[in-house]
Amino acid sequence: MGESLVSAMNANALPIFAPLRETILVEEARRRGVQTIALILDNGPTHAPKQLPKWGLELASRSGGKLTVQLYWLPVNARLSRSD
């Protein structure tokens, strides 16, 4: 259906997450003609769970509704596992 851009960061990455959203996620979405950015995030402080909904609304407003963000939060203490 769509392509994925996956990134993993260490727990001290909060200062770089906001610029990452704008410089990589938003620009790549615009380049590809994406209408919705879907973010699957843990509830850790790195992803600024209190700031992201506001950023999503601001992005939709700045783009005239042409680009939106859908946030999917993993349960607290969720573990991602890889199947080989």
Phi and psi (nearest 5°) for 23?
Answer: -80, -30
Residue 1 located in a structural domain? no
Give the pLDDT score at 4: 53
Long-range contacts of 22-26 (CB under 8 A, 24+ apart): 26/59, 26/67
Q: Is residue 68 part of a domain?
A: yes
Residue 50 in tokens? 């209190």
pLDDT, position 6: 52
- pLDDT per residue, tens digit, the chain (84 aa), is 555 555 555 545 555 677 778 888 899 999 999 999 998 887 766 656 777 888 899 999 999 999 999 988 888 777 666 665
Query: Which segments of the chain does DSSP mark as H helices, in order?
Result: 14-20, 27-32, 52-62
Residue 5 lies in a domain: no
If one counts the domains in the chain, the total is: 1
Tell me what pLDDT residue 34 has: 92
65, burial (CB in 10 Å: exposed 0-12, middle 13-18, buried 19+): exposed
Domain with 41 in it: 36-75
Residue 15 placed within a domain: no
* pLDDT for 80: 63
